Amino acid sequence: MPMVPKRLILSFSLTLIVVTHAIAQPPFRIHSCLDDKGNYTANSTYHTNLNTLLSSVFSNGSDIDGYGAFQSSSHGRNPDKAYAIGLCRGHAEPDVCRSCLTNSTNLLTKLCPNQKEAIVWYDQCMLRYSNRSIYGIKETNPAFIIWITQNASSDVDAFQRNVQSLSSRAVAGGSFRKFAAGSRNAANNFQTIYGIAQCTPDLSDVDCNDCLITGVNGLTQYCKAVKGCYVLYAKLQSCL
């Protein structure tokens, strides 16, 4: 795959959230090694647990048989237990989903060779691991905004309205899939605007809704004059 995105160009903090901007076109890949969450050493118990977890659960993917698959698992004993979550975009074909998660597991430990916690987003899936339980916890850090620039003068209001209208459908998606996709016409021209909103389905409806509201605000704030924009949080992907 690897279409490596152009390097991150700017970072700053937004309330307590670190938002990093990147410019990329799909297929993209963005990752974050969380340096402040602790490091492990080669062949430590945590390292072994993590490798076992990633190779047994996420590299096989034989149980990925639907759209928007979500997997959550852990391996080992405290204090060296490893936890991981994998999520595919709601419209990713099962084959693409499997391949994307396999690629993620192979790559993420190479991209982040000693961090206990790390996350990678592709446009079709995301993978995240940690030495703490990450299931069911809303997190908007780390966060990335990805712009797709192409001579566009975007109708940010229409972007926002579109994703807002998708959010309630995504939230109501249930405990297996919190995803919605849709399109609408921009108000001021004849362009069609496409959007998706998705949370990891382990989030409660309330947390998913909060997360998407934060995401929609991010779109409004940062996605001007672009052709497309993705807002990525540890528990959410939304784009238009």
- 124 near ligand NAG (CB under 6 A): yes
- 114 near ligand NAG (CB under 6 A): yes
Q: Interface residues for ligand NAG in 173-232 (CB under 6 A)? A: none
> Minimal distance in Å, beta carbon 186 to ligand NAG?
17
The CA distance from 175 to 194, in Å, is 25
Q: Which stretch binds ligand NAG (CB under 6 A): 96-104, 159-167, 183-191, 231-239?
A: 96-104
CA distance readout (Å), 107 to 110, 116, 122, 127, 213: 5, 15, 11, 10, 31
- 38 near ligand NAG (CB under 6 A): yes
- 100 near ligand NAG (CB under 6 A): yes
User: Do 140 and 17 form a contact (C-beta atoms < 8 A)?
Assistant: yes
Nearer to ligand NAG, 46 or 212 (CB): 46
- Kind and range of the H or E run holding 169: helix 156-171
DSSP state of 229: E
The helix/strand/coil state of 228 is strand
Task: Give contact residues for ligand NAG (rule: CB under 6 A).
Answer: 1, 35-36, 38-39, 42-43, 56, 60, 62, 79, 96, 99-100, 103, 114, 116, 122, 124, 131-132, 150-151
